[in-house]
Structure 1
């Protein structure tokens, strides 16, 4: 194990990394990676020939590395075992995987690291080049697991019921845009709740609570009323967009669901075709006959039907064959980072081709980078949604977003 100081510490380092530990059993590959790091201006470079040696070194260092460059195939302790040991020892240094193995294996190791809570930077296939290393360290931010969540505030059914009665739940709207032209096509209505004492309550906390405690009906009605009123206000100002509303599986058992939705849309002077009801595919796994009755009646009246989070369940194809969906939303797990993951591109291409063959509108959610946006353009996706385009926002903020978004259209439009 050795530490090699950089020759010139004045060179700016990509990504802000000032020290690196290279873990590789090949002395030639290790020296090559170390030299590239020196060329990038990294001040301090450590080396280890396998995972065991790297762990021993990390335990001794006074100045720990800010980045680990790790090979996979090594004697004694391979790269995967090394990542597991980092997790067990609660060592949270950013990790860059560098290996000559196939990309799908590298991506799986990266996913493993994220699931274990490690900040995974990226994966690179050997031979490593200066340009690819510089670009990766400049652009790739460490990805951490979404499973490690902060302690959530404790809210009760009575808290939520009181919030609904007082009209404290608000609706935010996330834009959905045409991927070829960049033009606004619609928005998705998303419930938001700020508790007067506890602050913001996450939707994945209060929506399951509403479903468990029989409050999902009042919650959906509150969201729908606000969203329809906002859509009517937009239209009165010349902004006509489609409106996607999430429909809880619990509501599919409501006998007068179709009449309630129809009446509320008519009250606000909107057209049925402007409204898209989003249903997660997992919600259709039980009592299909009841769900099918409600959904086919909604479709018969002209409402759009979207299968949400497509690809996260086990019965996607079967549901598409049974229910008259008009739109398919591809889950963010197949979209985010797809430009760097060839096997995700295969899945995306397959889903989009199926949409074309079935005459469905394809919607990709979770678009965060321009690279993934360009990939979706190339593959022929119809609609895009994600932080690259816009985060969920209050209804009145959409006007300003539209004005600012116009300035981005030349960048977003297909070449």
Structure 2
């Protein structure tokens, strides 16, 4: 089902397809989903001419890949070159691997792709892509309404005043659904502009040198909250993202050990998530710091696994305890053979290396069931919960307990019959 506010987010659409029959079919599907103003073009050149006449681009474009003259890929490249960046759905009857490649190309171009769908299209496929759009809609609006740009002084003051706080996203056991941990994610709670997402201030923090203070402040808050949860019987692990720049700080280990002592925590309950590209330069200080952190008992997670070229090399030379598979290999894996093969290979390798496996970006029950069948240990994503303030976790947990039967694997037929 597509949310009721879809027409507020998408007021018009463009359908580009050289087949008049296919084009009318797609137009009909979009109208059924609540989009009334729909433009049509029979090929890429017609689409570019039409867009040249419009003051604003449509809120969505559905583009066929195989067209004479200018194919869909060339059209998308022309759109990017002209600075026309509207949400895209690409469609083709060709193999899934080709569609995935086109989807990756669009993302690399910095454009917004909602889905790469195999024909024939139907309401379910398009609605699924539009759900992704509505999930991103609030983020897009926040960025559009962000107001004046921020400076380093604003960020420094926000860190000092405690405006940057952790939101926590649950990590649950894939086989049972039981809560096992949370990931602390930085959010800037601006007194006038509301919640500011991390992609708007983390790069500034790293370029300005403020990332060290921000990291320690986030760890301080996360460990303080962990101590409160532990005192109430909720002994879960807390994961905190670690900037690669912090690994070069000589006093970093002493500072977080001081926090562990202050809150009387065991280092084994804290997981430090490091992106796989963080120590790709093979800096001795970084490798030494990671080894010392592991010696002290902290868990080390390789984050966003699979998004870089050095993943296996990193696993071979750093004492990781956890492998976190990037959402790009999880979301939609149940319907894409290439993703399934990569996902299963990563999970099998991690199992042989005796690493805990975490899948992020789980949004559908079909992907959840797939991860169960592949033996993944932990999962997080919107299917389970969005990131939330610490005070909302107990209420979420109560509701989540009622979902546990739904999240657990269905009993095998032999179990129903009482046989083994």
Q: TM-score, normalised by structure 2?
A: 0.80
Q: Whole-Å Cα distance in 2 between the matches of residues 284 and 291 of structure 1? A: 6
User: Is 1:256 equivalent to 2:245 in the alignment?
Assistant: no
State the partner residue of 1:83.
76
Cα pair 1:172 1:192 within 8 Å, conserved = yes
State the partner residue of 2:306.
311
Alpha-carbon distance change, 296 to 67 in structure 1, aligned in 2, over 3 angstroms? closer
- How far apart are 1:23 and its partner, in Å? 4.7
Matches for 1:39-54 after TM superposition, within 5 Å: 49-53=42-46
Higher deviation after alignment, 258-267 or 238-247: 258-267
Q: Whole-Å Cα distance in 1 between the matches of residues 140 and 307 of structure 2? A: 16
Q: Whole-Å Cα distance in 2 between the matches of residues 167 and 292 of structure 1? A: 31
Aligned with 2:66 (options 60, 73, 81):
73
State the partner residue of 1:7.
none
Matches for 1:275-354 after TM superposition, within 5 Å: 275-286=270-281, 288-354=283-349
State the partner residue of 2:357.
362
Q: Whole-Å Cα distance in 2 between the matches of residues 119 and 213 of structure 1? A: 29
Q: Whole-Å Cα distance in 2 between the matches of residues 219 and 44 of structure 1? A: 47
Cα pair 1:273 1:302 within 8 Å, conserved = yes
Give the structure with higher Rg (CA).
1
Matched positions, count: 394
Alpha-carbon distance change, 193 to 379 in structure 1, aligned in 2, over 3 angstroms? same
State the partner residue of 1:122.
115
- Point out where structure 2 has 5 or more consecutive residues left out of the alignment: 1-5, 411-420
Matches for 1:12-411 after TM superposition, within 5 Å: 23-25=16-18, 30-31=20-21, 34=24, 49-53=42-46, 55=48, 70-87=63-80, 95-113=88-106, 120-126=113-119, 128=120, 133-141=122-130, 150=144, 153-286=148-281, 288-411=283-406
For residues 223-271 of structure 1, the C-alpha deviation after alignment (integer angstroms, 9 at most, x for no partner) is: 1121111111111111110011222222212333333323321321222
Classify the secondary structure of the residue corresponding to 2:69. coil
Q: TM-score, normalised by structure 1?
A: 0.81
Classify the secondary structure of the residue corresponding to 1:250. helix
Alpha-carbon distance change, 219 to 320 in structure 1, aligned in 2, over 3 angstroms? same
Higher deviation after alignment, 379-388 or 136-145: 136-145
- Point out where structure 1 has 5 or more consecutive residues left out of the alignment: 1-14
Over aligned residues, Cα RMSD in angstroms? 3.6
Cα pair 2:306 2:325 within 8 Å, conserved = yes
State the partner residue of 1:11.
none
Q: Whole-Å Cα distance in 2 between the matches of residues 40 and 206 of structure 1? A: 37
Cα pair 1:153 1:198 within 8 Å, conserved = no
- How far apart are 1:50 and its partner, in Å? 3.2
Alpha-carbon distance change, 407 to 288 in structure 1, aligned in 2, over 3 angstroms? same
- How far apart are 1:37 and its partner, in Å? 6.5
